[in-house]
């Protein structure tokens, strides 16, 4: 990595409607670090993550990737970033395999069948390879997109509540994935309300909340 801290956030402000969620948020994130975004419901965790991945535009400030605002270096940034949101982003009419390969193709990557199958098996989906995603449970769909995350090969993972709907084994799997990714020089920005055991992972906590003039309404 040429730069030790590729993700820089300068003086970010975010508003939903009339309400200011946070202002003046600045931080840096380096390779091999995990940023754990904390805060109560409605404090703007999801909004922050959407700002970081470029789905929403900040009120003020900028998100920079390798020194350039992500709005300018959109293509480079999206090539190195993978996002998992609240909704899964998989099509009900396609099988997990087709879903993975299609989303890879849409992201401009080629994903062969063997690699796709390996990642699905790693996530414990070996019995669902040929079923349409419609018949999968919520937790299983969640595992499908996590399999997509492994195959994406992105440097920065932005994960919004990746543990929702996962069972105990699933949570352990995700912990393993996160540990592998971060210790391998990757970067993660994530939110979760569940306790997560991440020994040995360089975790940076970040509290989200109205910093200036908290509103009473």
Partner 1 sequence: MFRFLFTVIRRDLLLAARRKGDWMTSQFFFVMVVSMFPLGIGPEPEMLRRVAPGVVWVAALLASLLSLSRLFADDHRDGSLEQMLLSPEPPVLLALGKALAHWLIYGIPLLIIAPVLGLQFSLPADVIGVLMLSLLIGTPVLSLLGSMGAALTLGLRGGGVLLTLLILPLYVPALIFGAGAVDASLAGLGPEANLSLLAAFAVLTLLVAPWVTSAALRISIE
What residue ranges bind partner 1 (CB under 8 A)? 50, 53-57, 74-76, 78-79, 81, 83, 85-94, 98, 102-103, 105-108, 132
Output 110 or 127, the one with its CB closest to partner 1. 110
Of the two residues 35 and 104, which places its CB atom closer to partner 1 in the complex?
104
Smaller CB separation from partner 1, 29 or 90: 90
- Distance in Å, CB of 13 to partner 1, minimum: 15
Closer to partner 1 at the Cβ: 3 or 93?
A: 93
**SS3 track for the chain:** CCCCCCEEEEEEEEEECCEEEEEEEEEEECCCEEEEEECCCCCCHHHHHHHHHCCCCCCEEEEEECCEECCCCHHHHHHCEEEECCCCCCCCCCCHHHHHHHHHHHCCCCCCHHHHHHHHHHCCCHHHCCCCHHHCCHHHHHHHHHHHHHHHCCCEEEEECCCCCCCHHHHHHHHHHHHHHHHCCCEEEEECCCCCCCCCCCEEEEECCCCCCCCCC
Smallest separation (angstroms) from partner 1 to the CB of 148: 9
Query: Min. distance of Cβ 91 from partner 1 in angstroms?
Result: 6
CB of 70 to partner 1, least distance (A): 11
């Amino acid at each position: 990595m040429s730069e030790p801290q590729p993700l820089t956030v300068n003086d970010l402000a975010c508003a939903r409607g009339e309400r200011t969620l946070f202002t003046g948020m600045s931080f840096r994130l380096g390779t091999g670090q995990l940023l754990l975004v904390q805060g109560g419901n409605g404090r703007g965790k999801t909004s922050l993550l959407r700002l970081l991945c470029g789905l929403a535009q900040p009120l003020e400030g900028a998100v920079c990737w390798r020194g350039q605002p992500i709005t300018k270096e959109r293509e480079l940034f999206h090539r190195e970033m993978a996002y998992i949101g609240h909704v899964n982003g998989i099509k009900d009419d396609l099988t997990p395999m087709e879903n993975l390969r299609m989303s890879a193709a849409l992201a401009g990557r080629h994903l062969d069948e063997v690699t796709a199958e390996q990642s699905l098996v790693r996530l414990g989906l070996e019995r669902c390879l040929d079923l349409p995603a419609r018949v999968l449970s919520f937790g299983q769909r969640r595992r499908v997109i996590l399999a997509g995350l492994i195959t994406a090969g992105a440097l920065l993972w932005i994960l919004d509540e990746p543990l929702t709907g996962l069972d105990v084994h699933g949570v352990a799997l995700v912990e393993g994935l996160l540990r592998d990714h971060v210790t391998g020089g990757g970067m993660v920005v994530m939110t979760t309300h569940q306790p997560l055991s991440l020994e040995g992972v360089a975790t940076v906590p970040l509290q989200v909340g109205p910093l200036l003039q908290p509103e009473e309404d």
